[in-house]
Copies of this chain bind each other. A is one copy, B any other.
Amino acid sequence: MELMDAINTRRAIRRIKSDPISEDALNTVLTAIQMTPSWANTQCWEVVAVRDQAVKEQLAETLPAGNPALKAMVQAPVVLVMCGKRGLAGFKKGKTTTDKGDWFMFDVGAATQNASLAAHALGLGSVVVGLFDAAKAGEIVGVPDQVSVVAFLPLGYPERVPTAPKRKDLKEFVCENHYER
């Protein structure tokens, strides 16, 4: 799939079939994460690829009741738990270097976008889930203290592809040389 087609036609897929996905397809998605640029090449992302149904169900319980991605969490053959190791991105000699503090959210955001695009080009659907109890999710998959669970990315063949949500026009978020609204 052409890059701009992938960017333009990717949708958040919340209805995912339980059909398995191949090892090769999963590896391509993981390679897309691996190739993401990162702060001083620190590559702070950590990924737990969950295929175990019991673990997926436990993770689904960390979402608020009625969340539209709940079904995807238990039905998708794989849920990627996207994590960030703190204290790497945005740091120099153990100290933060910008007003953003730890930069892991930026790098994990970029890696998650690469994963979503790679999945889409393979005919797979995914949806970024950010609203859940991250501390509980961390206990379930057993991440150490310095690792934060950031997002879930359920992954599988789409059951239904929704229409695109409305986007801002370019002129609503772009300005030239100086900020003006």
Contacts and interface: CB of A to CB of B under 8 A. Distances in A.
A178 B43 contact: no
Contacts of A120: 3
Contact size class for A?
35 or more
Which 9 A-B residue pairs are closest in the complex by CB-CB distance?
Answer: A109-B109, A106-B109, A105-B105, A110-B113, A3-B121, A3-B6, A109-B110, A52-B177, A41-B165
Interface of A: 1-4, 6-8, 10, 12, 27-28, 30-37, 39, 41, 43, 45-52, 55, 83, 90, 97-100, 103, 105-110, 112-114, 116-118, 120-121, 128, 130-132, 134-135, 141-144, 147-148, 150-151, 165-168, 170, 173-181
